[in-house]
Structure 1
Amino acid sequence: MSQATAPSARTRIRRLPDRGRYDFATVAAIVDATMLCTVAFQIDGAVHAIPTLHWREGEHLYIHGAKASRMLKALAHGEACVTIAQADGLVLARSAMHHSMNYRSVVIYGRFEAVTDPDYKLRSLEAFIEGLYPGRWQTLRPINDKELNATTVLRIPLTEASAKVRAAGVKDDEEDLSWPVWAGVIPLHTVPGEPQAEHDSVLSDVPPTRFV
């Protein structure tokens, strides 16, 4: 994937194209930095957009859910658009019209395919859990065959994807620079809260997550 060229016409950034990124490293980093994506698809001519957890292995984005899910069934047979966005900062300007936000986003087009091999499916689910909670998989009660069979895992390639990034300060008009109001960037971060253990949890030690 070229850093300068969109992989397809529908991924080309038209609005503020200087913010566009098409290299795999940027796309993958944004996918990895977030937990939730929104998947858009059609069922009987109606458009749906559903948020869901995701993870990445190599050049694919993965999602999972119950085998009975209407969304997962539809995705196995049609085109999809996956979007991801991460808010990084509030940009406060001297004019309301120049307020903005620093962000990272990705748009992915293509078709999902099902992961059908049971061993591969199990390894993918392990990668999902380990990506959120390093070292936790080996401590858990193993997934049984009934649970594995009731779970659908889908993946979509990152070959037709584009990223859009704003990481800058305030861009005010020159005549507004002396206006007497605070201007600058307020960074935004995801911070874990105080763990809340179940009353019947056997262990009291809180496991690590990638956010700590």
Structure 2
Amino acid sequence: MTTLSPAGLSPTERTTVRRGRNRAVTDRDALHDLLADGLVAHLGVVVGDHPVVLPSAYAVDLDGPDDGGTLYVHGSVAARWLTTATDTTVCVTVTELDGLVLARSGFHHSMNYRSAVVIGRARLVVDDAERVRALDAIVDHLAPGRSATLRPATRKELAATAVLAVPLREASMKARAGGPVDEEADVAAGGWAGHVPVRRVLDPAVTAPDAVGPVPAHVVDRVATPPAPQQPADAPA
């Protein structure tokens, strides 16, 4: 097995970037930043005779019990995809769109993005304390500090919810930033080209009709400080 340095992102054979290697990111801290920025993970698993890719809220514990840290996803205990994924190799992806790249030819149109692929054997979390921590972390990933303001989960809720843990050891990341890279002849011919930055905007919270009290400070803070796209320094290609 490949040995990872604390700050390095050294893919295994399964996560080696083969196409567009100039966009590969080898800094493990950049992977951690992307996972902190993202909100939706897509979990790929084979169910029966076909693959299924499903969106899921997630959380990351860099000090978790799995090799390289732990990525958590959750679902209903009755979900077939979740029970199928247990003790099998799964693929989890997280992508943030940072811009639309508009070139002088259709061939060179692209997107600015940060994308991570994590491959690993999914582990069903059976320890009650770890499961509670994971579920709280998923809530806090959406709105930091929120889990501390909520009542504890009931036994019925915990019994209905399953948590999967995926080690962060095997991971790769690619990123693109900047404008289009056009053919010299297309540049010489003239015409407009450029890129359109894309960012996530969090609007002020809408209070539920039956809610009591003002919007909590942690919600106000979440809206006031949306994650800013982190543009990689490498040149576009």
The TM-score, its normalising length taken from structure 2, stands at 0.82
The structure 1 residue matched to 2:92, chosen from 58, 78, 82, is 82
- Partners of 1:142 and 1:97 in 2: how far apart? 53
Instruction: Answer 1 or 2: which has greater strand percent.
Output: 1
Q: Single out whichever of 170-179 and 85-94 deviates more from structure 2.
A: 170-179
Q: Percent same amino acid at aligned positions?
A: 37
C-alpha distance after superposition, 1:74-123 (max 9, x if no partner): 11132211122111001112222211111110111111112211122112
Residue 8 of structure 1 and its aligned partner are, at CA, apart by: 1.8
Q: How many residues align?
A: 212
Residue 189 of structure 1 and its aligned partner are, at CA, apart by: 0.4
Q: Note if 1:126 corresponds to 2:130.
A: no
Pair 16,4 (structure 1): closer, same or farther in 2 beyond 3 Å = farther
Quote the RMSD (CA, aligned, Å). 2.0
- Partners of 2:82 and 2:9 in 1: how far apart? 31
For 1:9, the equivalent position in structure 2 comes to 13
Q: Which 5+ residue runs of structure 1 have no aligned equivalent?
A: none
- Partners of 1:209 and 1:43 in 2: how far apart? 40
Classify the secondary structure of the residue corresponding to 1:125. helix
Q: Is the 8 A contact 2:112 2:176 kept in 1?
A: yes
The TM-score, its normalising length taken from structure 1, stands at 0.90
For 1:31, the equivalent position in structure 2 comes to 35
Residue 6 of structure 1 and its aligned partner are, at CA, apart by: 4.5
Classify the secondary structure of the residue corresponding to 1:14. coil
- Partners of 1:170 and 1:162 in 2: how far apart? 24
Q: Single out whichever of 125-134 and 99-108 deviates more from structure 2.
A: 125-134
Classify the secondary structure of the residue corresponding to 1:195. coil
Q: Note if 1:18 corresponds to 2:28.
A: no
Residue type of the partner of 1:115? V
Q: Which 5+ residue runs of structure 2 have no aligned equivalent?
A: 63-68, 225-237
Residue 180 of structure 1 and its aligned partner are, at CA, apart by: 4.2
Q: Single out whichever of 43-52 and 173-182 deviates more from structure 2.
A: 173-182
- Partners of 2:35 and 2:56 in 1: how far apart? 13
For 1:205, the equivalent position in structure 2 comes to 215
Residue 11 of structure 1 and its aligned partner are, at CA, apart by: 1.1
Classify the secondary structure of the residue corresponding to 1:41. strand
For 1:151, the equivalent position in structure 2 comes to 161
For 2:123, the equivalent position in structure 1 comes to 113
For 2:47, the equivalent position in structure 1 comes to 43
- Partners of 2:23 and 2:169 in 1: how far apart? 19
- Partners of 1:179 and 1:204 in 2: how far apart? 58
- Partners of 2:114 and 2:122 in 1: how far apart? 23
Which consecutive aligned stretches of 4+ in structure 1 deviate over 4 angstroms post-superposition?
Answer: 2-6
Residue 131 of structure 1 and its aligned partner are, at CA, apart by: 2.4
